[in-house]
């Protein structure tokens, strides 16, 4: 067969598969980290499994009904989250490898939040196909924890919060404007009580 025809057929066959990976990251297995972590969460839900998992959401509950509607527009949810008892027990090189994927065409960073005091980093990326958001990636790291969340499909930022705490999705740390959620402000300190006045001296 003509090599050019063979190449064209190969591309045609690979086209649909390639389209399905738009917005989806190739996440490392992190197998060695599961043994080191005090807590770990691994979620791998493709389109078929998403439909099955959505069946457990209660349609009579307004919040879960909204989450179910959001899930119907998705083709995948992938979460890797690890918590450790010591600082930086995870190799940052693995996280950097995921970050490099986000430099590919189509991905745009919409949030970059850094806290030197808390030593936390939060990066949020959106995959845009045409004029529609087709993928979301969040990388959050701190000394004793890191999480990678990859949501694939038609993304509606206003409905994303409905997934938090459901189907293994942690707090996404973004608001409906696509900004990093503000950290809660510490409670104001109570004003110190005035010292008691000295007792009057007794006259002899």
Give the whole-angstrom CA distance, residue 121 versus residue 137. Answer: 14
Q: What is the pLDDT of residue 8?
A: 34
Cβ atoms < 10 Å from Cβ of 21: 13
Determine contact, residues 39/5, Cβ cutoff 8 Å: no
Q: What is the pLDDT of residue 3?
A: 39
The DSSP 8-state label assigned to residue 166 in this structure reads S
- Please list, in sequence order, all residues whose beta carbon lies within 8 angstroms of the beta carbon of residue 59, skipping any fewer than 6 positions away: 65, 68
Determine contact, residues 142/118, Cβ cutoff 8 Å: yes
Angle at 110 between CA 48 and CA 167, to 5 degrees: 30
Q: What is the pLDDT of residue 23?
A: 93
Average pLDDT, 10 consecutive residues per value, the chain (204 residues): 37 36 86 87 92 86 89 94 92 85 94 88 92 93 93 88 87 63 42 57 58
**From the DSSP assignment, how many helices (H) and strands (E) are in the chain?**
5, 6
Report field, pTM of the whole predicted structure over 0.75: no
Q: What is the pLDDT of residue 154?
A: 92
The DSSP 8-state label assigned to residue 89 in this structure reads -
Give backbone dihedrals phi and psi of 168, rounded to 5 degrees, phi first.
80, 5
Pick from 150, 154, 158: nearest CA to 177: 158
Determine contact, residues 119/143, Cβ cutoff 8 Å: yes
Q: What is the pLDDT of residue 107?
A: 96
Q: What is the pLDDT of residue 84?
A: 94
Q: What is the pLDDT of residue 29?
A: 81
- Which long-range contacts link 68-71 to residues 24+ away (Cβ below 8 Å)? 69/159, 69/162, 70/156, 70/159, 70/160, 70/162, 70/163, 71/163, 71/167
Q: What is the pLDDT of residue 189?
A: 46
49: enclosing H helix or E strand: helix 47-54
Domain boundaries, given as residue ranges, for the chain:
31-163
């Amino acid at each position: 067969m003509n090599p050019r025809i063979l190449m064209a057929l190969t591309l045609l066959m690979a086209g649909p598969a390639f389209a399905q990976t738009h917005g989806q990251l190739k996440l490392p297995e992190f197998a060695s980290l599961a043994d080191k972590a005090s807590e770990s969460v691994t979620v791998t839900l493709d389109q078929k499994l998403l439909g099955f998992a959505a069946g457990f959401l209660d349609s009579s509950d307004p919040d879960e009904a909204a989450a179910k509607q959001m899930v119907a527009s998705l083709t995948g949810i992938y979460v890797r989250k690890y918590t450790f008892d010591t600082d930086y027990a995870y190799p940052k090189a693995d996280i950097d490898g995921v970050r490099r994927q986000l430099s590919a065409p189509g991905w745009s960073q919409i949030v970059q939040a850094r806290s030197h005091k808390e030593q936390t980093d939060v990066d949020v990326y959106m995959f845009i196909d045409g004029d529609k958001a087709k993928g979301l990636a969040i990388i959050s790291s701190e000394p004793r924890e890191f999480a990678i969340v990859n949501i694939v499909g038609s993304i509606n930022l206003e409905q994303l919060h409905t997934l938090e705490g459901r189907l293994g999705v942690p707090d996404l740390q973004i608001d409906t404007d696509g900004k990093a959620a503000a950290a809660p402000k510490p409670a104001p300190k109570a004003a110190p009580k005035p010292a008691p006045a000295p007792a009057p001296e007794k006259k002899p």
